[in-house]
Amino acid sequence: MLVHFVPSSGIVIAMLVACFVMVLAFEATNGFHDSSNAVATVIYTHALQPGPAVIWSGVMNFLGVLVGGIAVAYALVEILPPDVLTPPDGSPAVPMLVSIFAAALFWNILTWAFGIPNSSSHCIIGALIGVAVADALLKARSVAQGVDWKQIVTVLEGLAISPILGLVLAGGLYGILRLVVRRGHLFEPPKEGQPPVWWLRALLILTCTSVSFSHGTNDGQKSIGLIMLTIIGLLPATYALNPQASQQMAQLGQNAAAATPLIRQYGDDVKAQALRSAATLQNAGARLPAEATGGRTPGDTDAQDRATRSQLRGAVYDVLSELKHVTEAPQASPGDKKQAANLLKQMGPPVQYAPWWVQVLSALCLGIGTMVGYKRVVRTLGERLGKQHMTPGQGASAELVGSLLIGTAGFTGLPVSTTHIITSGIAGTMITGGQGVQGGMLLRIALTWVVTLPVTIALSAGLFYVLDNPGF
């Protein structure tokens, strides 16, 4: 449907602007769900009032985003095929953006409306998988080859294992606290309007700080890659290539030449396109450093410059995708796999980056979302998960374990769900404490986690198939 419009037409620009608004709205709904977990304990126990709590959490999220880097952001983006990320003709990837944001945003808002701690990570990953599947079907490719299942399995493994670790470790930590401390304010449900004693209040603020910071290092990155895809569509002449990577740009032609024999020998069913892209990078030669900084060679018009930069970005992603396939090919020798992995690292910086203001924007949207929508999730975690209300010790145990798991995953580039980890952690402390959990609420949460992936996959796949199909 959208493929019938000229890339620079008003409708395409309007859709890109709408996509930009949707990705910011999605990051705010991430705050509804995920950031609310960071402030749930301090607000529910009255250690901090809601206003100061969400402001402090926002500041820590902001710092976490800046410190955490962009590894998680591009671990998600790499689920998409290169021709979807950057179409071969250099046009904006509007169908992909609309499909991802609409599907993820719809499910995030729907689950928030019912007060269910759903995972924003699940939403966005499901939407990305849906687009990859629909793209394979549109191009008559095998779904087994057209979708990077190894990357998807790696991402899903982190999402599946982290809640189990959260439940076991938080339950174990709370059990140790009960053995060491035995009695006191740690194990008493909060009294209405009465803050805990000073030392307990300090402990709760510390755990809130650690979860908020680690949340920024992981969840705060997830929209950064998507924001980048949107602004590249809006302003390709400025953002298609990393202006700070001129040295790596200068080596792209040489690296593409080294990648060519590897792709020719071990490439999959789209290796012909990757070989053409490698030749494009080699032919660009001395022009590549100028392209990184937005410079032009004599005779280039402004329109030509934009198209060249977008197409160069697409060429890099074509080569990167096949090099990644080489590192996973069982028939490739260890030496060839190592060479492919080194080329992947050297060729990534020109296209995998994020300006500082994108990181700031992501953090601000998280904070705003937390301020608007924290109440529903806070009440669910504090009162509706266990058969008795959450105690400060349970909240502190769940958040301390959660911050360690989330922070570790963020710095290693593995996307995990803050919602899943904190919710499972609180459930673990409820079991250890003997209170038990409310089966009905736990079943609702579990069903939401199970249903999220197929629903968002189906929604985004259906949208993408319609929007990117010339027959419509």
**284 & 363 share domain:** no
**69 & 163 share domain:** yes
Asked whether residue 447 is assigned to any structural domain, the reply reads: yes
**411 & 380 share domain:** yes
**214 & 290 share domain:** no
Q: Which residue's structure tokens are 């190894």?
A: 150
Structural domain that includes position 251: 242-347
**208 & 168 share domain:** yes
List, for residues 413-472, the tens digit of each pLDDT value.
777 777 778 878 888 888 887 776 666 666 766 777 788 889 999 999 999 988 887 766
**366 & 456 share domain:** yes
How many Å apart are CA 353 and CA 239, to the nearest integer? 10
Asked whether residue 472 is assigned to any structural domain, the reply reads: no
* Mean pLDDT confidence for 300-327: 74
**378 & 362 share domain:** yes
List, for residues 351-391, the tens digit of each pLDDT value.
888 888 888 888 788 777 766 655 655 555 555 554 567 77
Residues 65 and 362: beta-carbon distance below 8 Å? yes
Asked whether residue 237 is assigned to any structural domain, the reply reads: no
**363 & 419 share domain:** yes
Of 280, 314, 347, the position where a domain reaches its end is: 347
| Mean of pLDDT over the chain | 79
pLDDT at 324 over 50: yes
**22 & 62 share domain:** yes
Asked whether residue 328 is assigned to any structural domain, the reply reads: yes
**159 & 280 share domain:** no
Cβ-based burial of 367 (10 A; exposed 0-12, middle 13-18, buried ≥19): buried
**48 & 171 share domain:** yes
Asked whether residue 236 is assigned to any structural domain, the reply reads: no
Among the ranges given (206-210, 319-323, 405-409), the one the predictor scored with the smallest mean pLDDT: 405-409
Report the domain count for the chain.
2
**341 & 456 share domain:** no
- Backbone phi, then psi, for 195, in 5-degree steps? -70, 155
Asked whether residue 38 is assigned to any structural domain, the reply reads: yes
